[in-house]
Structure 1
Amino acid sequence: MKKPAPSRRRFLAQSAAIASAALIPTHLRSSIAATPESANDRPGLGLVGAGRMGHNHMRFAKGMCDVVAVCDVDTNHREKAQQNLSDGKAKAYNDYRHILEMDSVDVVYIATPDHWHAKILIEAMLAGKDVYCEKPLTLTVDEGKVIRKVQKKTGRVVQVGTMQRSYLDLFVKAVAIAGEGRLGRITRATASIGGSSGSGPIPEHAVPQWLDWNQWLGPAPKSPFRWIQDPNLKDEWQIGKTNGHQQFRWWYDYSGGKMTDWGAHHVDIACWALRAAGQSDTLVSIGGEAKLPVPYKNGYPTLRDQYNTASSFSLKAMMSDGTELLITSEGRNGVLLEGTKGRIFVSRGDLTGAPVEQLKDLPLPEDAISKTYRGMPTPFNQHPNHWANFFHCTRERMEPISDVTSHLRAIDICHLANLSARFDRPIRWDAQNEQIIGDEAANALLSREYRNEFAIEM
């Protein structure tokens, strides 16, 4: 398929938006409403990946856009999303490239398994689309280099689905506390992200007629479909133990396990807090202990028929200024920030600690949350605000709260943590050149080979 050119409608709309924004004083831009003023302002959205995540998260965005196309390699997912999200009106495809060709698609929402993210994101930006992409953006460090380059070239707006950056009353408030110096100098941040378990051998299985397995694999290595059906599952999105669908997270060919699943959220918050406090989030080294469910040799699993991502771990990342960032499968899920003046714990359920209690007598400045949220509108909270932030930034041509650069700094720490686990040795990192120091075998896994038919179309 040929690479789509931006439509005349999109070009004129974006030119007008840029021209209008130039007439608005910078300090007033954040007061602009975060939802469209009329139906004509509603962007057309193309959903790529209509499984549980993509389908369910659209409920937060549906009121701010029109779903004009859906894509999924699973016929059941595709048909259900088409009906539920557009009353059957949206175009439905098996191949996402059709969506990139559509003039009526202004923004693309990527909710595929992780191994597809970078390719679709890069091609969507080159096709003139703004993109909301679920985390992590990458499967390897080198994919991030290409993403940064293409975004700079195209000027597209990209929001990462690390929606904790829009939890105003919890994570944003925690970062604001750190930014206001209430913790003093942060000496240690701990991201507790939980562990996982192995699966045991999963046999090969005939590919169901409703699944295009070759297209599901895409850039990943050719592999047989594996499946152990579980008749007790009541969730229609689950299909038991498999190397596809919801269980893709536990295979390094498709994801990074808990490290890039919950790590993408909590390591990001820890790094954001360090930056807000005027400290470094530049990695120097990472190492520690990790348990993997199968034996490894030279960084690769020796068994290919079962889950292989790290199941438990305690890995310490050292920043360039000496601050410690601990990534662990132990403890309560959340982020602990320990400083010279106090400590706070933040999760999706609460924000606690003496510095939080002290807010009753010494509240944060009125603009603390706004300043932490870069002065952008905050009409909602949590998931709805994250989507509203994205659409606001596509109109104003601004960098959203979960920007590419900050996300890649955090997720690269997670990728390097996984390499430390896979090789069972510490990793020393040259952040300036984005290379592992003195370890050729680990350095080789900073990138991956794509299958020829699924190479990125630049």
Structure 2
Amino acid sequence: MSNIHHPSRRRFLQGVAAAGTAAALASSPNRALALQSPNERPVFATIGLRNQGWGITQKSTGLADFVALADVDSNVLGENVEKLKNKQGKAPDAYKDYRKVLDRKDIDAVMIATPDHWHTKISVEAMYAGKDVYCEKPLTLTIDEGKLIEKVVKETGRVFQVGTMQRSESSQRFLQAIALIRDGRIGTVKKVTCGINGMVGSPVIPVTEVPKELDWELWLGPAPKVDYRALPEMRTGYGGGVPLYSNCHYAFRNWHEYSGGKLTDWGAHHVDIACWALGATDTGPSKVTPLSYDLPVEYKDGYPVVNDQYNAATKFKIGVAMPNDVEMIITSEGDNGILFEGTKGRFFVNRGKIAGKPVEDLKENPLPEGAIEKVYGGPISKNHTANFIEGMQSRKQPISDVWSHNRMLEICHLSNISMRLGRELNWDADKREIVGDAQANAFLSRENRKGYEINM
């Protein structure tokens, strides 16, 4: 990477020593926090703009002023600069290198929507640069990355929102589901099934020329250096305009080098709600068992033996032993959503509906007044960004905090490790390590490519 300023832990701690701990944690090392009153609009920037990056940006323009955008694809960057100019009446500055955003002293917070393998490096460096952070889910590529982010949040005092928007949006169906469980409407929960869809494998994807608008070296970043691969057929619909089969852009979710397949894509949504409902957001499972699964390529010692096809699981059924003898099933079969089953009944919830007899019974026996707000922890924010900004103002962590997210995501990461190795894993939730399995524990972390280490 080019030799420009790197925010760092050393620089942050020098600021703490100079300003005093309390003052340093209350404001950025670079500037006083802009949010001096609830009526003052924060200054934001977005790093990573394709699809969800633009989605969270355009939804937030009514709440914040965006002064900068960054993306390694010049076409995507240019298109989004123009769209944002039209939406907010002023063009943001444009950068290929995200570090130039972090160097800006006028920016309060960054929204990160890069591919997953970049999340941790940018998040950590942003916090040391004095920025609050909104980062898309899944927050990490490994369990140890989650531990690092928790450490830096605590050390810097930054506010950090994870983009698991089901916690505050989707017409409050998921909050209602949790309220039903807490009010005992299905008795004691015995089983929860998270349907998160499967995926399809790919044909062999050949090495081809890198698109001229894409900085492939910078897109790879912390991931291993490999050739760009793509087939000519283009993706349509959501995420369209890019090759249907590639090792980049929308398809990155299908490669363990950059993401975790459906387990960390939809799993990061539904497993999160399931854990919240079970009161397991600060604990973890005791065992993860791959009951059945299909990997699209051959694996040896947990690694794919070929590098020219998608390698994340296409079909799966994972058994998870949760606290209080609750059985969790994560499956690619059936409806996308969550089925809660208890000693007195069951119901199903997803983004489009909440259904079952306990829901029907609400007509005659509604939930207690304020039950949904009690789940949320107070008045419900109008959207996920509003909750983030409220946290910036109060200096309290928002509804999708890093600790609850990481505990939930550990289940998804362990599920992938169990399939890659083809065996059951016993998990020590206190030590946050796999019991008696050195090979499996090696998958809890990864080494960033030289030149792209996390700058501490």
CA offsets 1:329-375 (integer angstroms, 9 cap, x no match): 00100000111121110000000111111111111111111111111
- Relative to structure 1, the CA distance from residue 340 to residue 165 in structure 2 (aligned partners, 3 Å threshold; closer, same or farther) is same
The aligned counterpart of 1:72 is 71
The aligned counterpart of 1:413 is 411
The aligned counterpart of 2:140 is 138
CA offsets 1:283-339 (integer angstroms, 9 cap, x no match): 100112211000111000011111000000001000132111100000100000111
Tell me which moved more, 310-319 or 235-244.
235-244
**Preserved contact between residue 196 and residue 312 of structure 1 (Cα < 8 Å):** yes
Choose which of 259, 271, 274 in structure 1 pairs with 2:275.
Answer: 271
* Alignment map for 1:162-173 (pairs within 5 Å): 162-167=164-169, 168-173=171-176
1:418 & 1:84 partners in 2: Cα distance? 38
Choose which of 335, 341, 344 in structure 2 pairs with 1:341.
Answer: 344
* Alignment map for 1:243-392 (pairs within 5 Å): 243-275=247-279, 282-287=284-289, 288-378=291-381, 380=382, 385-392=383-390
1:440 & 1:76 partners in 2: Cα distance? 44
**Secondary structure class of the residue paired with 1:76:** helix
**Preserved contact between residue 241 and residue 247 of structure 1 (Cα < 8 Å):** yes
- Relative to structure 1, the CA distance from residue 421 to residue 9 in structure 2 (aligned partners, 3 Å threshold; closer, same or farther) is closer
- Relative to structure 1, the CA distance from residue 423 to residue 155 in structure 2 (aligned partners, 3 Å threshold; closer, same or farther) is same
2:30 & 2:124 partners in 1: Cα distance? 22
TM-score normalised by structure 1 residue count: 0.90
Establish whether residue 199 from structure 1 lines up as the match of residue 202 from structure 2.
Answer: yes
The aligned counterpart of 2:442 is 444
1:318 & 1:8 partners in 2: Cα distance? 44
**Secondary structure class of the residue paired with 1:270:** helix
CA offsets 1:66-120 (integer angstroms, 9 cap, x no match): 1100000000010111111134621111110111111121110000001001111
**Preserved contact between residue 263 and residue 414 of structure 1 (Cα < 8 Å):** yes
* Alignment map for 1:114-129 (pairs within 5 Å): 114-129=116-131
The aligned counterpart of 1:428 is 426
Establish whether residue 92 from structure 1 lines up as the match of residue 94 from structure 2.
Answer: yes
Q: How big is the shift at 1:56?
A: 2.4
**Secondary structure class of the residue paired with 1:318:** strand
The aligned counterpart of 1:32 is none
1:220 & 1:94 partners in 2: Cα distance? 18
Counterpart of 1:271, as a letter, is C
Q: How big is the shift at 1:12?
A: 5.0
Counterpart of 1:374, as a letter, is G
1:111 & 1:92 partners in 2: Cα distance? 16
**Preserved contact between residue 30 and residue 129 of structure 2 (Cα < 8 Å):** no
**Secondary structure class of the residue paired with 2:325:** coil
The aligned counterpart of 1:106 is 108
The aligned counterpart of 2:57 is 58
Q: Which runs of 5+ in 1 are unaligned?
A: 18-35
* Count of aligned pairs: 429
Establish whether residue 42 from structure 1 lines up as the match of residue 41 from structure 2.
Answer: yes
Structure 1 moving runs of 4+ over 3 Å: 3-10, 231-237
> Cα RMSD (Å) of the superposition?
1.8
2:285 & 2:215 partners in 1: Cα distance? 40
2:235 & 2:71 partners in 1: Cα distance? 25
- Relative to structure 1, the CA distance from residue 10 to residue 365 in structure 2 (aligned partners, 3 Å threshold; closer, same or farther) is farther
Q: How big is the shift at 1:411?
A: 0.5
Counterpart of 1:136, as a letter, is P
Q: How big is the shift at 1:243?
A: 0.1
**Preserved contact between residue 271 and residue 281 of structure 1 (Cα < 8 Å):** no
Counterpart of 1:456, as a letter, is I
